[in-house]
């Protein structure tokens, strides 16, 4: 059915926010059944089991990155439905949030809408919201602290005809296509309704850069952001602090068997030569191999990482196995290169603890200087 134009604004479709990664692209609220939870027939009052059968809200990921649905929600006048925390909506992908009297009356979308065939993984069922026909609205948003709800995309309507009953509709699913859905299409001026096509669209919003989309979130809600979506990437990305070599005398030597290695204050190897005559002739070595360095790196554990207020911002480093007795010096630096912690473990020492309480939130770099002068770097996050 068409939305009535008697009321100046029969519905409101807020276009995708320039700062929202996810947007509402379609709402199918006026399903061809009644708005009663029960009704009477010749047999008496029976439950309206197909109440809101086929109702859905479609969302779309307009960013160029896959997005976790953790902390995202849908809200109507009745309640809030938090999207599954373990669900990922891929870049350029649609996803449906459909009504069902879960779990006994699963909505058979693949029977109602042919565009959903084979796409069960893109359908999420919920029974928290019932989109009323007469006047209602649905909001897509995100929370950064579990309580503050920040609106990202919204669709609202005010339809004078609140009754759209088609008897035994479940026996003829094709009749669902006779009722239009609200769809996002900025190319139209007077009618945003069309035949429902869940998980597809006549108009697909253009893809936008993820960093541009989240800029506003970072600026306005910095204290609530926890980098969950990017934590593994940040921890595994080594951001070396490059200190230019300078002409100076080596500040120390490190003895590995019969081979000594000299390095400058930046940790750059300057020479590799035999030690004193009493140590034997020796040969020049380039240090540990790539595989050995990887084994040493994997033996170094930083925990908790990220560190946060609940941990009192304490950080503990431990090392064992391939790394034991091979670390001569540890330096932790801020992202701008300021050394905030240093430690020189002796033989048999395999742990150290320090605190980031007085440091700004962000990334820190831990440099482990080995007994060959080689350096292994790991990242530490504080939030």
pLDDT bracket for residue 100 (50, 70, 90): confident
Assess whether the previous peptide bond of 125 is cis (omega < 30° from 0).
no
pLDDT attached to residue 350: 95
- C-beta separation of 5 from 192 below 8 A: no
Q: Does the pLDDT of residue 63 top 60, yes or no?
A: yes
Whole-structure pTM value? 0.57
**Residue ranges covered by each domain of the chain:** 11-223, 233-242+288-382
Question: 11-223 and 233-242+288-382 share one CATH topology?
Answer: yes
Q: 233-242+288-382 adopts what CATH topology?
A: Immunoglobulin-like (2.60.40)
Bridge partners of residue 170, in order along the sequence = none
pLDDT bracket for residue 248 (50, 70, 90): very low
pLDDT attached to residue 370: 92
Determine which of 15-24, 135-144, 328-337 has the lowest per-residue pLDDT on average. 15-24
Q: What per-residue string of b and e applies to 275-312 under the rule 16 or more CB within 10 Å gives b? A: beeeeeebeeeebbeeeebeebbebbebeebbbeeebe
pLDDT attached to residue 270: 58
Q: How many CA atoms lie within 13 A of 34 on its CB side?
A: 10
Distances in Å between the Cα of 170 and the Cα atoms of 36, 167, 213, 337 are 16, 9, 41, 66
Q: What is the mean pLDDT of residues 330-353?
A: 92
What percent of the chain stands above pLDDT 70? 66
pLDDT attached to residue 17: 47
pLDDT attached to residue 284: 41
Number of other CB atoms surrounding residue 165 within 10 Å = 11
Q: What is the mean pLDDT of residues 27-36?
A: 72
pLDDT attached to residue 8: 36
Look at 198 and 269; give whichever has higher pLDDT. 198
pLDDT attached to residue 65: 92
CATH architecture of 11-223: Sandwich (2.60)
Q: Does the pLDDT of residue 2 top 60, yes or no?
A: no
Q: What is the mean pLDDT of residues 57-73?
A: 93
Q: Does the pLDDT of residue 140 top 90, yes or no?
A: yes
Q: What is the mean pLDDT of residues 162-167?
A: 68
- C-beta separation of 287 from 373 below 8 A: yes
Q: Does the pLDDT of residue 279 top 50, yes or no?
A: no
Q: Does the pLDDT of residue 190 top 90, yes or no?
A: no
Which range among 35-44, 108-117, 134-143 has the greatest average pLDDT? 134-143
pLDDT attached to residue 46: 46
């Amino acid at each position: 059915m068409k939305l009535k134009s008697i009321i100046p604004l029969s519905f409101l479709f807020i276009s995708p926010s320039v700062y929202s990664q996810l947007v509402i692209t379609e709402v199918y609220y006026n399903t061809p059944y009644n708005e009663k939870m029960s009704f009477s027939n010749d047999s008496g009052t029976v439950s309206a089991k197909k109440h809101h059968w086929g109702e859905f809200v479609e969302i779309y990921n307009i960013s160029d990155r896959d997005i976790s649905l953790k902390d995202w929600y849908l809200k109507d006048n009745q309640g809030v439905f938090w999207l599954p925390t373990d669900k990922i909506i891929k870049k350029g992908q649609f996803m449906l949030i459909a009504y069902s009297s879960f779990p006994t009356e699963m909505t058979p979308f693949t029977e109602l809408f042919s565009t959903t065939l084979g796409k069960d993984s893109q359908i999420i069922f919920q029974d928290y919201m019932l989109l009323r026909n007469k006047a209602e609205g649905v909001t897509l948003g995100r929370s950064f602290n579990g309580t503050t709800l920040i609106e990202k995309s919204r669709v609202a309507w005010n339809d004078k005809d609140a009754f759209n009953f088609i008897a035994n509709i479940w026996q003829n699913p094709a009749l669902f296509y006779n009722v239009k859905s609200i769809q996002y299409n900025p190319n139209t001026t007077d009618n945003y309704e069309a035949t429902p096509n869940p998980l597809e669209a006549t108009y697909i919003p253009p893809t936008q850069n993820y960093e541009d989309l989240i800029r506003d979130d970072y600026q306005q809600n910095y204290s609530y952001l926890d980098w969950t979506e990017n934590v593994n990437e940040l921890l595994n990305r080594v951001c070396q602090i490059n200190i230019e070599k300078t002409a100076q005398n080596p500040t120390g030597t490190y003895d590995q068997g019969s081979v000594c290695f000299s390095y400058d204050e930046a940790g750059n190897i300057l020479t590799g030569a035999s030690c004193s005559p009493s140590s034997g002739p020796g040969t020049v070595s380039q240090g540990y191999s790539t595989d050995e360095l990887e084994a040493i790196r994997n033996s170094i554990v930083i925990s908790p990482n990220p560190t946060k207020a609940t941990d009192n911002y304490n950080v503990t480093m431990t090392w064992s196995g391939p790394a034991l007795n091979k670390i001569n010096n540890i330096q932790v630096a801020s992202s701008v290169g300021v050394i905030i912690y240093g430690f020189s473990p002796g033989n048999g020492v395999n742990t150290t603890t320090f605190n980031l309480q007085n440091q700004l939130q962000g990334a820190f770099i831990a440099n482990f200087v080995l007994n060959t002068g080689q350096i292994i770097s790991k990242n530490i996050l504080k939030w």
